[in-house]
Chains A and B, each alone.
Chain A
């Protein structure tokens, strides 16, 4: 079974803090994703990484950056947290880009920025 884990289930931070969200997958998947999920808006892609050190901006990258130094780990960084970044953050992985493959999601991190 593929397992995707996220470093925290709940996180409370203050405006202006730098925030790190960590995601780890254990099945040697090439692709990893960061989404945020807000009521009424569904899942929106922040960043995508198709391999180590490779990344693409998603639909809403502003205010975020990512790091993928090792294949199994994909980090989302909020450089200076703001209240409008309060959300549920979901990480996902996928075997690769080229063939049909479903995404496997982590349990999510509910981030509150005060």
Chain B
């Protein structure tokens, strides 16, 4: 099976930087996704990492270390609209390559 761990909740201040961690234990790792989900809305894709290192996309960056089973999502210049849940999902090779989701991290950005 797979074990994916994320903090349940984080708070941060508008304009600051926040790092949301995701650790996983799995065999046959084949990539890690981050999704954003605003309250009452559908999750939307943010990033995908399959190789070690940092992928930058505007204010959002995602990092992966396969040897440590660790990823983080870095949000810079936080805005109020970044208040949402952030879901980490791990894809495993073999079978139907179905991602398994962590329980999500609820980020609250306050003024």
Contacts and interface: CB of A to CB of B under 8 A. Distances in A.
Given A41-B103, A100-B31, A102-B33, A108 B48 contact: no
Contact of B103 (A42, A45, A56, A100): A42
Interface string B1-25: 0000000100000000000000000
Interface string A13-54: 000000000000000000101000000111111001010000
B108 to A, nearest CB: 15
A90 B50 contact: no
Interface string B79-111: 000000001000000001111111110000000
B96 A97 contact: yes
A41 B85 CA distance: 13
Contacts of B31: 100
Interface residues of chain A: helix, strand, loop or mixed (majority) = strand
Contacts of A74: none
Contacts, number: 48
Contact residue range for chain B? 20 to 34
Given A48-B96, A102-B45, A106-B42, A42 B87 contact: yes
Interface residues of A, number: 24
A108 B103 CA distance: 17
Contacts of B102: 42
A65 B82 CA distance: 36
A107 B31 CA distance: 25
A103 B103 contact: no
B105 to A, nearest CB: 10
Interface of A: 4, 31, 33, 40-45, 48, 50, 56, 58, 90, 97-98, 100, 102-108
- 9 pairs of A and B residues whose beta carbons are closest in the complex: A42-B103, A105-B42, A102-B45, A43-B101, A105-B43, A107-B42, A42-B101, A97-B97, A97-B96
10 contacts: A41-B103, A42-B102, A90-B42, A100-B50, A102-B48, A103-B99, A104-B45, A106-B42, A107-B42, A108-B42
